[in-house]
Structure 1
Amino acid sequence: MARIFITGSADGLGQLAAKALIKQGHQVVLHARNAERAKRAFDKVPGAGDVLTADLSSIDETKALASKVNALGKFDAVIHNAGVYQVSRNSVHADGLPVLFVVNSLAPYILTCLIQKPERLIYLSSGMHLQGDPNLDRLPVGTQGRNSHVTYSDTKLHDVILSMAIARKWTDVFANAVDPGWVPTKMGGAGAPDNIEKGFQTQVWLAVSNEPEARVSGYYFHHKRQAHYLPAAKDAGAQEQFLARCEQITGVLLQ
Structure 2
Amino acid sequence: MRTIFVTGSVDGIGLRTAAQLVAEGHRVVLHARDEDRAAVAKAALPEAAGIAVGDLSSLEETKALAGSLAAFGRFDTIVHNAGIARLDSPQRELTGDGLESTFQVNVLAPYLLTALLAQPERLLFVSSAMAADGVVDLDDLQGERRPWNGTEVYSTSKLLDLMLAVAVARRWPGTLSNAVDPGWVRTKMGGDAAPTSPDDAARAQVRLAAGTDPDVLVSGHYFSEREWQPSAAVLDPALLESLLARCADLTGVPLPEASVPPAHPAP
| TM-score bracket for the superposition, by shorter chain length | over 0.9
- Aligned partners of 1:189 and 1:169: how far apart in 2? 37
Report deviation, 1:61: 0.6
CA distance in structure 1 between the aligned counterparts of 2:227 and 2:212, rounded to whole angstroms? 17
Listed as ranges, the matches of 1:4-153 within 5 Å are 4-86=4-86, 88=89, 89-140=91-142, 151-153=153-155
Is the 8 Å Cα contact of residues 186 and 196 (structure 2) preserved in structure 1? yes
Cα distance in 2, alignment partners of residues 220 and 198 from structure 1:
18
CA RMSD of aligned residues (A): 1.8
* Equivalent position amino acid for 2:207 in 1: W
Q: Distance in 1 between matches of 2:15 and 2:234?
A: 28
The amino acid that maps onto 2:165 is S
1:70 Cα offset (Å): 2.0
Change (3 A) 1:219 1:135: same
* Percent identical: 46
Q: Distance in 2 between matches of 1:147 and 1:59?
A: 23
Equivalent residues of 1:130, 1:230 under 8 A apart: no
Report the 3-state secondary structure (helix = DSSP H, G, I; strand = E; otherwise coil) of the residue aligned with 1:137: coil
| Alignment correspondent of 1:174 | 176
Mean alpha-carbon deviation: is it higher for 80-89 or for 172-181? 80-89
- Native 8 Å contact 2:3 2:76 kept in 1: yes
For residues 3 and 134 of structure 1, the distance between their equivalents in structure 2, rounded to whole angstroms, comes to 34
Indicate how the Cα distance of structure 1 residues 19 and 226 shifts in structure 2: closer, same or farther if over 3 A, else same.
farther
Q: State the partner residue of 2:230.
A: 229
More moved, 226-235 vs 60-69: 226-235
Aligned pairs for 1:156-171 within 5 A: 156-171=158-173
Mapped partners of 1:136, 1:41: distance in 2: 36
Q: In the aligned structure 2, how far is the partner of 1:213 from the partner of 1:47?
A: 29
| Aligned twin of 1:242 | 243
Question: Counterpart of 2:26 in structure 1: which amino acid?
Answer: H
Aligned partner of 1:199 in structure 2 is 201
Comparing 197-206 with 84-93, greater Cα deviation is found at 84-93
Shift of 1:134: 1.9
Offset from partner CA, 1:179-203 (integer Å, 9 cap, x none): 0001101111111123433311111
Q: Using the alignment, how far apart are the partners of 1:101 and 1:48 within structure 2?
A: 29
Residue 22 of structure 1 contacts residue 47 of structure 1 at CA under 8 Å; is this kept in 2?
yes
What CA distance in whole angstroms lies between the structure 2 residues aligned with 1:231 and 1:21?
33
**Correspondence for 2:265:** none
Say if 1:46 and 1:118 are closer, same or farther in 2 by CA, change over 3 A.
same
Distance 1:147 1:50 in 2: 42
Aligned mates of 2:71, 2:105 — CA distance in 1: 22
CA contact (8 A) 2:84 2:102 kept: yes
Unmatched 5+ stretches in structure 2: 257-267
Structure 1 spans left out of the alignment, 5+ residues: none
Tell me the distance in 1 between the aligned counterparts of 2:36 and 2:6: 18
d(CA) in 2 for partners of 1:165, 1:12? 27
Conserved 8 A contact 2:132-2:228: no
- SS in structure 1 at match of 2:139: helix
CA contact (8 A) 1:202 1:222 kept: no
Q: CA deviation digits over 1:223-250, x for unaligned, max 9?
A: 5x99623433321121112111111111
Contact 1:219 1:226 in 2 (8 A): no
Letter of the structure 1 residue corresponding to residue 46 of structure 2: P
3-state DSSP of counterpart to 1:118: coil
| Counterpart Cα distance in 1 of 2:167 and 2:254 | 13
1:231 is paired with a residue whose SS is coil
TM-score normalised according to structure 2 size: 0.89
Q: Please give the secondary structure, in 2, of the residue aligned with 1:121.
A: strand
Counterpart residue identity of residue 234, structure 2? A
Q: Any conservation in 2 of the 1:220–1:227 contact (CA below 8 Å)?
A: no
SS of residue in 1 equivalent to 2:212: coil
How far is 1:90 from its partner? 2.0
The match for 1:189 is 191
